[in-house]
A and B are shown apart, each in its own frame.
Chain A
């Protein structure tokens, strides 16, 4: 049942600027590093000469959490808006499909779009590295994949929360402004305790045990998912 809902959602996201957003995030990050490395090429190449790819990845990674939070917020809000706009909830939820399936389908489509973003980020990083002539050193594929996905897993609690808030009310002011605030705060992750989930995407790259934070993110994501799905399944549809 959820697959049927997902296939319907897949159709609905057309022409809503979602795909544009999905491409904008990684392309923007890579372009920023392109400028960074382009302007200070000799200095940075010199600084990272032992591990050129590692240096590039470190520079990209600084902005991955904020991009993930911002992108997640906007994707969730846009997805929710497809149904809010012409109050299609009453039509959708009067169809023979369970509320849980609808909620899970919305979540999956958000997650899927962000997966595409993360893949693009990895691909873009390799592309930029090759463009900068780093091919003299072997490409660290594992780290290249980790750059997006490790932080992504750690950002799960916030993404799930954002989707829940976006789906809950027609008014998107609260979810979007909360998402923006969290994105900005995440820039200061270094000053936050590791017990605060907001800092996990950054720690999932930097910490000594990065997998711990990715795992914790996934776990907490599932925990936030339960009340979200339950609330969505029970609420009155206006």
Chain B
């Protein structure tokens, strides 16, 4: 098992008695892209700010690289690059000077600036004042700034927010490259499932400050895979047959609902049901999209 990079236990942040983040247990392992997913206002940014030591948790603990954040803040932050919400930049300075201002604090060698400019393909634009940059370029500059200290952990909060499709594509491929090429662990937040689905290996879904789902994307897709619905003349008896065959399943509104299975098994089951004297009216497959599953998970409270 790989090392855990970020681990939070029962993380709680209250603003005037209202919990923005409650009982949050994050677990992010080394070298993975972790997608932090949730609707706007679910507490993603609050959590990320706590991970960066920008705000203090009301209670609970944060461990990054196996060390307690509050006591080892500077050593930990040395190995973390971050981009929180809207890009931060000094508009009156050129891209080069923006990075230089950060470089002086990080104390990394000067050639590193050209390297990160190259990674985010801003080479050639570095002399222009940043206030004339497009949002996409500012965002890329933000990522360059995050990469400047050669971090082992990259925390990106809504890195594609407000970008056009080609900008989103560019940032996405950039983020996907990082763990492969440089072994960086990435925590990326978004309110768009499709976004996370295309980048992340593991996903954590947060709703109203609480983690409602945390597992791999593959597992998420499996869960959302849908089911088989059979309308038969005697559902109870048919269920017994299905259970005997080890198909699992349950009755819903007089229909037999079975988990997804292979074509061969479906045909076998139907054959057996027919041989048992059941009339099979309908065999339907209901496919739930990931989007629906996500809405079901995050909308759990309301619906």
Q: Which residue of A lies closest to B56 (CB)?
A: A236
Which residues from 53 to 108 on chain A have a C-beta closer than 8 Å to any C-beta of chain B?
82, 85-98
Point out the residues of chain B lying under 8 angstroms from A7, CB to CB: 104
A88 near B90 (CB under 8 angstroms)? yes
Point out the residues of chain B lying under 8 angstroms from A90, CB to CB: 49, 52, 54, 84-85, 88
Q: How far is the CB of A96 from chain B (nearest CB, A)?
A: 4
Q: Which residue of A lies closest to B81 (CB)?
A: A94
Q: Which residue of B lies closest to A3 (CB)?
A: B104
Checking B52, B55, B78, B101 against A11 with a beta-carbon cut-off of 8 angstroms, the contacting residue is B101
B104 near A4 (CB under 8 angstroms)? yes
Point out the residues of chain A lying under 8 angstroms from B49, CB to CB: 90, 236-237
Q: How far is the CA of A124 from the CA of B49 in the complex (A)?
A: 49
Checking B83, B106, B142 against A95 with a beta-carbon cut-off of 8 angstroms, the contacting residue is B106
A94 near B52 (CB under 8 angstroms)? yes
Q: How far is the CB of B44 from chain A (nearest CB, A)?
A: 14
Point out the residues of chain B lying under 8 angstroms from A87, CB to CB: 86, 88
Which residues from 143 to 162 on chain A have a C-beta closer than 8 Å to any C-beta of chain B?
none
Q: Is B53 an interface residue (CB 8 A)?
A: yes
In the complex where A95-B106, A237-B54 touch, is A82 in contact with B74 (Cβ < 8 A)?
no
- Most chain A beta-carbon contacts within 10 A, residue among B74, B85, B92, B101: B101
Point out the residues of chain A lying under 8 angstroms from B102, CB to CB: 8, 91, 95
Q: Which residue of A lies closest to B90 (CB)?
A: A12
Point out the residues of chain A lying under 8 angstroms from B106, CB to CB: 95-96
B93 near A12 (CB under 8 angstroms)? yes
Q: Is A16 an interface residue (CB 8 A)?
A: yes
Q: Is A14 an interface residue (CB 8 A)?
A: yes
Q: Which residue of A lies closest to B148 (CB)?
A: A95
Checking A11, A234, A236 against B100 with a beta-carbon cut-off of 8 angstroms, the contacting residue is A11
- Most chain A beta-carbon contacts within 10 A, residue among B75, B86, B102: B102
- Interface residue total, chain B, C-beta cutoff 8 A: 34
Q: Is A5 an interface residue (CB 8 A)?
A: yes
Q: How far is the CB of A53 from chain B (nearest CB, A)?
A: 41
- Bitwise interface map of B from 49 to 66 toward A, beta carbon under 8 Å scored 1, else 0: 100111110000000000
Q: Is A15 an interface residue (CB 8 A)?
A: yes
B90 near A86 (CB under 8 angstroms)? yes
Point out the residues of chain A lying under 8 angstroms from B85, CB to CB: 90
Checking B54, B83, B91, B92 against A14 with a beta-carbon cut-off of 8 angstroms, the contacting residue is B92
Q: How far is the CB of A61 from chain B (nearest CB, A)?
A: 36
Point out the residues of chain A lying under 8 angstroms from B83, CB to CB: 91
Q: How far is the CA of A14 from the CA of B94 in the complex (A)?
A: 11
Q: How far is the CA of A236 from the CA of B15 in the complex (A)?
A: 11
Point out the residues of chain B lying under 8 angstroms from A94, CB to CB: 52-54, 77, 80, 82, 84
Point out the residues of chain B lying under 8 angstroms from A14, CB to CB: 92-93, 97
Point out the residues of chain B lying under 8 angstroms from A12, CB to CB: 90, 93, 101
Q: How far is the CA of A87 from the CA of B88 in the complex (A)?
A: 6
- Most chain B beta-carbon contacts within 10 A, residue among A4, A92, A95: A95
Q: How far is the CB of A113 from chain B (nearest CB, A)?
A: 17
Q: Is B293 an interface residue (CB 8 A)?
A: no
- Most chain A beta-carbon contacts within 10 A, residue among B75, B78, B105: B105
Q: Is B294 an interface residue (CB 8 A)?
A: no
Q: Which residue of B lies closest to A101 (CB)?
A: B105
Q: How far is the CA of A2 from the CA of B67 in the complex (A)?
A: 25
Q: Is B145 an interface residue (CB 8 A)?
A: yes
Q: How far is the CA of A4 from the CA of B102 in the complex (A)?
A: 9
Q: How far is the CA of A212 from the CA of B90 in the complex (A)?
A: 42
A95 near B53 (CB under 8 angstroms)? no
Q: Is B107 an interface residue (CB 8 A)?
A: yes
Point out the residues of chain A lying under 8 angstroms from B213, CB to CB: none
- Bitwise interface map of B from 98 to 115 toward A, beta carbon under 8 Å scored 1, else 0: 001110111100000000
Checking B56, B88, B104, B107 against A88 with a beta-carbon cut-off of 8 angstroms, the contacting residue is B88
Query: Can you spell out 15 A-B residue pairs with CB atoms less than 8 angstroms apart?
Result: A4-B104, A11-B104, A12-B93, A14-B93, A86-B89, A86-B90, A91-B142, A93-B54, A95-B77, A95-B105, A95-B106, A96-B77, A96-B106, A97-B74, A97-B105
Interface residues of A (CB under 8 A from B): 4-5, 7-8, 11-12, 14-16, 82, 85-98, 234, 236-237
